[in-house]
Amino acid sequence: MYLMFFAKHVSRRQFGPWAGGLAMTLWPRMDAFAQAPAPAQQQLASSSAAAIKSLQLSAALPAGGGPLNLSVEVQGEAENRLVFASLRSTAKLAAISLFDPLGSLVWRKTPAELGLTPQADAGRPDLGDAIVLPAVRDAAPGRWRLQLEPAAGAKGQVLLSYRVLPRFELSLSVLSAGGSSGTAIAAGEPLLLVLRGQDYGVPMTNWTATAPQLSLRDSRGELVASPKAEAGARTATGLLISDEPGALIARLSLPAAGAYRLTALHQFRASAKPLQVELLLHATAPKAALALSGLRLEQQAGTPGPCARAVLFDFAVNVAAAGSYACNISLLGPAGSRMVSASSTLAAGPGRISVRVAADKLAALGGPLTALARVGLIRFGPSDAGLVAELQDVVLSAEQAAELRAVYMAVCRP
């Protein structure tokens, strides 16, 4: 399955059909991951997740029919958002008013003006009507007051939840295609990191000029990698990974088994406090190893002169578990790109898998290739399926490159 350590604000429209049970989708057009047939799992990593808790108030309307006053405490910096969950009431309310800490009226509206869902149509009907309360931007620190005026003769209970959120929020998600669970992934598995920023709850799209700093450190605190996050990231064959506005994407893999700390740090403006998010990752032993061991030309017999029908790319593999595997190669040339693949049943341990590319298809990509844009090894099965090993920009040796040049000169003609 896909493992995701996830932040917020991802939609099906933005990322397509990889939706898991937590309404997360990612990169349907990304050829590096598109062959792995499993849903996603998620875990939150947000700059506000640990510090912000939802506060809940409940009370009964006064017996005498007078208004009910609920105190809402706002603490922290002045740049914030006071966000209310739906107000629930088993009594009919005539009007609702909000007063700031100085006692000044901010607004007074009827439930219908605010947005009312009747008790019968609301979730948890036992809680009563659901009334939408607007958020307050830059709520001054202090005690705010929400005043509820009941309708004539109305009696019942009210329930209110609220949070005070910072103006700026930074969030980080990590996607692994290797079929791991929990926070553990296998060493060498390809990872995608996704960074998102928010300003007053709105996704930021203009923060890419100064991208957040990413760092990966091992259990000793030693710096292992500093991935670069960028907008408009593309796959090895040029396909756009995500068109989500403002999302920054980086690539990463954990080099060996052990514990790691992944950190993202960003200062949204010079006068703002830097925000930091981090995830603790644990890498287990690699599930597979993959390396290009050589290539062979498939010649056509009985023709005058050299005639190449295909090229066979041979890969040495070492898998931890026996099963069905596929090897995908992304080829990128001056005249286009192509993905080719081959499947094989492999025993646990060392083995080999070969991928055949027709000579005419290879020649159609343009000038002789000197590298393979991407190679992925995928495991199939009812469980533990996914991308288990990946190579990027596999440079061919001088001898291998010379053999490919010969193919371009000797493609079999009809």
| pLDDT tens digits, one per residue of 218-261 | 999 999 999 988 887 776 656 677 778 888 988 888 888 999 99
Q: Which of 284, 318, 348 is the last residue of a domain?
A: 284
191 and 257 belong to one structural domain: yes
280 and 267 belong to one structural domain: yes
Structure confidence by residue, pLDDT tens digits, 14-25: 333 222 222 222
Give every strand in the sheet of 184-186, ordered side by side: 184-186, 275-284, 258-266, 213-218, 223-225
149 and 180 belong to one structural domain: no
Instruction: State the total domains in the chain.
Output: 3
Q: Is residue 250 part of a domain?
A: yes
Q: Which of 264, 284, 304 is the last residue of a domain?
A: 284
Neighbour tally for 40: CB within 10 Å: 24
216 and 263 belong to one structural domain: yes
346 and 292 belong to one structural domain: yes
DSSP 8-state class, residue 52: -
44 and 183 belong to one structural domain: yes
Q: Which residues pair with 339 in a beta bridge?
A: 330
Give 207's pLDDT tier (boundaries 50, 70, 90): confident
C-alpha 179/C-alpha 193 separation (Å) is: 16
293 and 277 belong to one structural domain: no
Percent of the chain with pLDDT over 70: 81
Q: Is residue 55 part of a domain?
A: no
Residue 308 pLDDT exceeds 90: no
Q: What is the mean pLDDT of residues 262-290?
A: 86
Question: Which amino acid is residue 170, in one-letter code?
Answer: L
Q: Is residue 197 part of a domain?
A: yes
Q: Is residue 217 part of a domain?
A: yes
Cα of first residue to Cα of last residue in the chain, in angstroms, is: 45
Q: Which of 284, 304, 332 is the last residue of a domain?
A: 284
Q: What is the mean pLDDT of residues 7-14?
A: 32
320 and 343 belong to one structural domain: yes
Residue 44 pLDDT exceeds 70: no
Q: What is the mean pLDDT of residues 28-54?
A: 45
Q: Chain-wide mean pLDDT for the chain? A: 80
Give the angle subtended at the CA of 232 by the CAs of 229 and 235, to the nearest 5°.
Answer: 90
145 and 83 belong to one structural domain: yes
The domain that holds 332 is classified in CATH as 2.60.40
Domain that holds residue 7: 3-49+167-284
Record the pTM: 0.67
The domain that holds 187 is classified in CATH as 2.60.40.1930
326 and 344 belong to one structural domain: yes
Q: Is residue 414 part of a domain?
A: no
Structure confidence by residue, pLDDT tens digits, 357-401: 988 888 888 877 888 888 989 988 776 777 888 888 888 888 888
* Cβ pair 293, 400 in contact under 8 A: no
Q: Is residue 57 part of a domain?
A: no
Q: Is residue 162 part of a domain?
A: no
Question: Which amino acid is residue 81, in one-letter code?
Answer: R
Structure confidence by residue, pLDDT tens digits, 81-120: 999 988 999 999 999 999 999 999 999 999 999 999 999 9
261 and 347 belong to one structural domain: no
292 and 280 belong to one structural domain: no
Which residues lie closer than 8 Å to 390 by C-beta, 6 or more apart? 32, 189, 190, 253, 290, 374, 375, 376, 377
Sign of CA dihedral 199, 202, 203, 204: negative
Q: Is residue 249 part of a domain?
A: yes
